[in-house]
Amino acid sequence: MSGLGHLLWTILITAILCLPLAISVWALLDAARRPGWAWSLAERNQAMWLAGICLGFFTVVGGVAISGLYLWRVRPRIAAAEDGRIADLT
């Protein structure tokens, strides 16, 4: 491969390898921007989740696992509390 094909292949591989980092950054920024009162209503600890996501940056698998757990299970509860949907918290 040479020329444009090599460039496109390099861009594709780089994009795929950056996905775990992007997921972790997304989770970290989302967790940091949620207000503390929403975390309290959802009975979750914001500091613990922020620390866990930050520690997950050191390993790819750990980062994806912690960030995925936050985005899939915790984030919907925090968003429901923030939107005032108290019934969704049970």
Distance between CA atoms of residues 36 and 34, nearest Å = 7
Residue 9 falls within a domain, yes or no? no
Residue with tokens 């309290």: 40
Tens of pLDDT, residues 11-38: 999 999 899 999 999 999 999 999 999 9
Residue 49 falls within a domain, yes or no? yes
Residue 52 falls within a domain, yes or no? yes
DSSP structure string for 2-52: -THHHHHHHHHHHHHHHHHHHHHHHHHHHHHHS-HHHHHHTT--HHHHHHH
Residue 54 falls within a domain, yes or no? yes
Q: Which residue range forms the structural domain that includes residue 31?
A: 19-89
Residue 33 falls within a domain, yes or no? yes
Two structure tokens written together for 45: 């600890």
* Cut 0.85: pTM above it: no
E strand or H helix at 60, and its extent? helix 60-69
Two structure tokens written together for 62: 């750990």
Residue 77 falls within a domain, yes or no? yes
Q: Does position 1 have pLDDT exceeding 70, yes or no?
A: no
pLDDT at 60: 86
Residue 32 falls within a domain, yes or no? yes
Q: How many structural domains are present in the chain? A: 1
Residue 66 falls within a domain, yes or no? yes
